[in-house]
Amino acid sequence: EIVLTQSPATLSLSPGERATLSCRASQSVSTYLAWYQQKPGQAPRLLIYDASNRATGIPARFSGSGSGTDFTLTISSLEPEDFAVYYCQQRSSWPPEVTFGPGTKVDIK
């Protein structure tokens, strides 16, 4: 099983600041990595797929990068609505498997 590790567990920032979230895989996942945002009481929302592609309707302040085992989600300038938990997710074809990271909480400093 491919294990995803996210850091930091919590990121305390102010609106307008830049957020940099990390996701590391226990083995290469190529670019098969996605990022989600989840707010309390809501389902996760897809932000980024294939490591660096923004999903439909996602603002340009969200960007993803990386390949292999190390990935980054960057929020260039935090808006009040961006304070949430962020999860990374990988998929592998064989064996067919999907795993999520434990999440990074971005909260208001």
Partner 1 sequence: QLQLQESGPGLVKPSETLSLTCTVSGGSISSSSYFWGWIRQPPGKGLEWIGNIHYRGSTEYNVSLKSRVTMSVDTSKNQFSLKLSSVTAADTAMYYCARRPFGAASAPGAFDIWGQGTMVTVSS
Shortest distance, position 15 Cβ to partner 1, whole Å: 26
Minimal CA–CA distance to 82: which of 102, 67, 63, 99?
A: 63
C-alpha 6/C-alpha 109 separation (Å) is: 20
For the chain, the maximum distance between any two Cα atoms, rounded to a whole number of angstroms, is 42
Total residues contacting partner 1 by CB under 8 A comes to 26
Counting Cβ atoms within 10 Å, is residue 1 exposed (0-12), middle (13-18) or buried (19+)?
exposed
Asked if 84 is part of the footprint of partner 1 (rule: CB under 8 A), the reply reads no
Residue from 34, 73, 75, 106 binding partner 1 (CB under 8 A): 34
Nearest residue (CB) to partner 1, 18 versus 39: 39
* DSSP secondary structure of 12-27: EE-TTS-EEEEEEESS
Contact pattern from residue 13 through residue 32 relative to partner 1, giving x for each residue in contact according to CB under 8 A and a dash for the rest: -------------------x
Residue from 23, 25, 82, 103 binding partner 1 (CB under 8 A): 103
Residues that bind partner 1 (CB under 8 A): 1, 32, 34, 36, 42-46, 49-50, 53, 55-56, 87, 89, 91, 95-103
